[in-house]
Amino acid sequence: MISIRQVSKWYGSFQVLTECTTEIQKGEVIVVCGPSGSGKSTLIKCVNGLEPFQAGEIMLDGTSVGDAKTNLSKLRARVGMVFQHFELFPHMRIIDNLTLAQIRVLGRASEEARDKGLKLLERVGLKAHAEKFPGELSGGQQQRVAIARALCMDPIAMLFDEPTSALDPEMINEVLDVMVELASEGMTMMCVTHEMGFARKVAHRVIFMDQGRIVEDAAKDDFFGKPRSERAQLFLSKILQH
């Protein structure tokens, strides 16, 4: 589904990604973790072309992301992306946030788009809030709306960029519960997160990054049981000791 081969990226003279290579199969859930500044978010944004990369290749369901001829807008419509800060339109009601791209990008009729939006709001437990504005919802609720909005586009894969890091602790689980349910239904997912409990529960593999490189790419049990690199061992000892 997603193939990343020898991907490197620079900001000016600073190299932020170095020869990153991994494959993600259909239905796999991959958690990408590592210290701040390790390139995790940059890598996931390269996957759907939000960040350009200067070397290597990324294939998304057979389409080359870096190819100048690729229609990135069309490609992004097939890949759901959930950000750290929700990115909802504050001046639009929740239901309108969910129907806009369906109508504009997919060409759905407004009634069909609304039905789809309400169905997905119900799925994330927020149908009763359809007519409200984002500012009337909690952070956790807004993030669940953002997930529903991404699902409205019938994505072939979902990318999550630290979806819980801006939330209060008590709101984190309500978002993770939706993500766990998605994983159990076989959605292909690539998640940048520090939520190691989530990783242990649903990830098939864990990718550990440090200084722009993929240091480990291992099955979940291998990563948590016996990480190969000293850097990953140190990271886990700090993040799991509490």
- Report the pLDDT value the prediction gives residue 42, as an integer from 0 to 100: 96
27-53+70-240: what CATH class? Answer: alpha beta
Give the pTM: 0.93
Mean pLDDT over each residue of the chain, to the nearest integer = 93
- Report the pLDDT value the prediction gives residue 102, as an integer from 0 to 100: 93
65-100 pLDDT per residue, tens: 999 899 988 888 889 999 988 889 999 999 999 999
Task: For residue 241, name the pLDDT band (cuts at 50, 70, 90).
Answer: low
142-171 pLDDT per residue, tens: 999 999 999 999 999 999 999 998 888 888
Mean pLDDT over 115-138 rounds to 95
Q: What is the DSSP string of 110-126?
A: HHHHHHHHHHHHHHTT-
